[in-house]
Amino acid sequence: MVPMQSILEGTLVASAAQQKEYPVIVGKLLWVANSTRPDLSLTMGVLARHMRKPSQEHYQAAQWVLRYLKSTKEVGLVYRANESQEPLVAHSDANWASDATIQRRSTSGSVVLVYGNPVAWKSAMQKCVSLSAVEAEFIAATEATHEVLFYHEPALRLAMTTRARSRGEAEETTRLWKE
């Protein structure tokens, strides 16, 4: 995962040229993050929240991501035939009330794996405000379950032996999930 603060202050207003260039850079980086680089998902989600009014700090963070990509050109997804892994599984995590500037909503993240290979991933703000870390984790696990169910039907058509499974991070969430 790309290290970056989840809250960027944004005190200095970006120049007009930076404000025009920022959405173009972020849009292209979002495409890369959604297509081939799951390590950028959280970072790009944070930067995409400021498309309308980016600050100099946001612009500099986007430039930093470009430099990071240039220095990690060799990093990418490698898919291997691995039937020892579970056929279909989703992992999820949540960051409770991660951004005080956006109405205290939590951030969910998930990845769907087919035989250990990532086929879908995302990081997004939750649509509602969670009242606890357990609730945020439960929402993230529910979203991941929807994602894994989307892949379950095609897997059955391909005659894969499937056991769809969704795993959350919080111990309390796992306990609630089993009850």
CA distance 36 to 121: 10
For the chain, state the CA radius of gyration: 18
- What does each of the 179 residues of the chain score in pLDDT, given as a tens digit? 555 655 566 678 889 999 999 999 999 999 999 999 999 999 998 899 889 999 999 999 999 999 999 999 998 898 988 877 788 888 999 988 776 666 788 889 999 998 889 999 999 989 988 898 899 999 999 999 888 888 887 776 776 655 656 666 655 555 665 65
- The secondary structure of residue 51, as a DSSP letter, is S
The SS3 assignment for 86 reads: coil
What digits encode the pLDDT tens for the residues 26-40? 999 999 999 999 999
CA distance 24 to 62: 10
